Amino acid sequence: MKTIKGPAIFLAQFMGDQPPFNSLASICKWAAGLGYAGVQIPTWDSRCIDLQKAAESKAYADEIKGIVQDAGLQITELSTHLQGQLVAVHPAYDALFDGFAPAAVHNNPKARQEWAVQQLKYAAKASENLGLNAHATFSGALLWPTFYPWPQRPPGLVDTGFKELAARWLPILNEFDRHGVDLCYEIHPGEDLHDGITYEMFWEQTGRHPRACLLYDPSHFVLQCLDYLEYIDNYHERIRMFHVKDAEFNPTGKQGVYGGYQNWIDRAGRFRSLGDGQVDFKAIFSKLTAYDFSGWAVLEWECCIKHPEDGAREGAPFIKDHIIRVTEKAFDDFAGTGKDENFNRRVLGLQ
């Protein structure tokens, strides 16, 4: 077994225009002061990193790495959640998702997709330059508007959708393979990869690509009423990243999983700060440790009630207290009789 690394924090939800949240150096010092050991970096935020430059210049990548290390931290992974979303966009969402891309490719879905694919390829090389072995992203979605089959889906639609999704991602997965980095899809409603079954369909279409891995975030499974512990049993060999995020699901006689178009505060399913929701993190950390998960435990703060700075302050000790330092010996070693083949045969009555 291995001891999970951490605590770490995903910087995306904390970046801002005011110090200490407006530069990589200052936010890293802030995070270190709270007790974090690592940071996950959003690559779409230029205050953190110039992704293309990090891919094309090892010296620049070393500079970014040095800024983080000067604060006493490590880079855990890079993230391209926003760019990954744009690899596959159903036309119904074109206007909404244009905001994830530069103005130069707005109102041009083909150019926007090409930009996103290039971003992912930069991320593969940048990750290698930074000495990282895993990367976080979203799959995007072609089928999501049809997830509830009314009107009924035409025969073959799902197969066509997943074949196309895999075709778009295969060149990217191959690029990550060339750079020795696992590409980890966050399984998330709104993405075509939103549960175990959809991941399996995608993975099969990629030929079970070895780099098509998983980012595990139990909060999204609480909101889907999916067994997030059994999920680990099913997919532990593919899980390479871990977002530590809490959630709660409190259905009523008026609303359930779909939330009735309500804001987060009024939904039956809500994201919460660590310890304020329903996720059984003791069981999660135990399972991941038993299955030899060797990655980072990364706080992703999303809460509809608590202030983010309070969530971050409470998150570091919460994760630290849940990380299990693995034992190097069995608890009953003191009663052992030593290894002896002849003795074992005697115990079995074979001599």
pLDDT of 24-64, one tens digit each?
999 999 999 999 999 999 999 999 999 999 999 999 999 99
CA distance 47 to 334: 55
Q: What's the pLDDT score for residue 333?
A: 67
Q: What's the pLDDT score for residue 332?
A: 64
Q: What's the pLDDT score for residue 344?
A: 85
Q: What is the DSSP letter of 19?
A: T
Q: What's the pLDDT score for residue 231?
A: 98
What lies within 8 Å, CB to CB, of 94 at 6+ separation is 107, 109
* Distance of alpha carbon 75 from the chain centroid: 14
Q: What's the pLDDT score for residue 346?
A: 83
DSSP letter string, 307-329? -HHHHHHHHHHHHHHH-----SS
Q: What is the DSSP letter of 141?
A: B
User: Which tokens sit at 144?
Assistant: 């999501």
CA distance 342 to 95: 75
- Separation of first and last alpha carbons in the chain: 36
CA distance 47 to 108: 26
What does the radius of gyration of the chain's CA atoms come to, in whole angstroms? 22
Phi, psi of 185 (to 5 degrees): -85, 125
Residue type at position 252: T
Query: Can you list the domains of the chain with their CATH numbers?
Result: 5-347 (3.20.20.150)
Buried-state track 294-320, b at ≥16 Cβ within 10 A, e below 16: ebbbbbbbbbeeeebeebbebbbebbe
- Listed residue (329, 234, 229) closest to 287, CA to CA: 229
Q: What's the pLDDT score for residue 334?
A: 59
User: Is the preceding omega at residue 151 within 30 degrees of 0, hence cis?
Assistant: yes
Q: What's the pLDDT score for residue 329?
A: 76
Place of tokens 């690592």: 38
Q: What is the pLDDT of residues 113-141, one digit of tens each?
A: 999 999 999 999 999 999 999 999 999 99
Q: Is 135 helix (H, G, I), strand (E, B) or coil?
A: strand
CA distance 60 to 66: 10
Q: What's the pLDDT score for residue 123?
A: 98
- Give me the helices (H) in 71-108, please: 81-85, 94-97
CA distance 86 to 272: 27
Phi, psi of 285 (to 5 degrees): -60, -35
Q: What is the DSSP letter of 89?
A: B
pTM exceeds 0.85, yes or no: yes
Q: What's the pLDDT score for residue 330?
A: 72
Compute, in degrees rounded to 10, the torsion defined by CA atoms 239, 240, 245, 251. Answer: -20
Mean pLDDT, consecutive 10-residue stretches, the chain (351 aa), reads 96 97 98 98 98 98 98 98 98 97 98 98 98 98 96 97 98 98 98 98 98 98 98 98 98 97 97 98 98 97 97 98 89 69 87 76
Q: What's the pLDDT score for residue 327?
A: 84
Sign of CA pseudo-dihedral 135, 232, 225, 198? positive
Q: What's the pLDDT score for residue 340?
A: 82
User: Which tokens sit at 23?
Assistant: 């530069």
Place of tokens 């997830």: 147
- The answer to whether 172 and 117 have CB atoms below 8 angstroms apart is yes
Q: What's the pLDDT score for residue 347?
A: 85
Q: What is each CA distance from 338 to 204, 322, 335, 345, 349, in whole angstroms?
A: 47, 34, 9, 14, 18
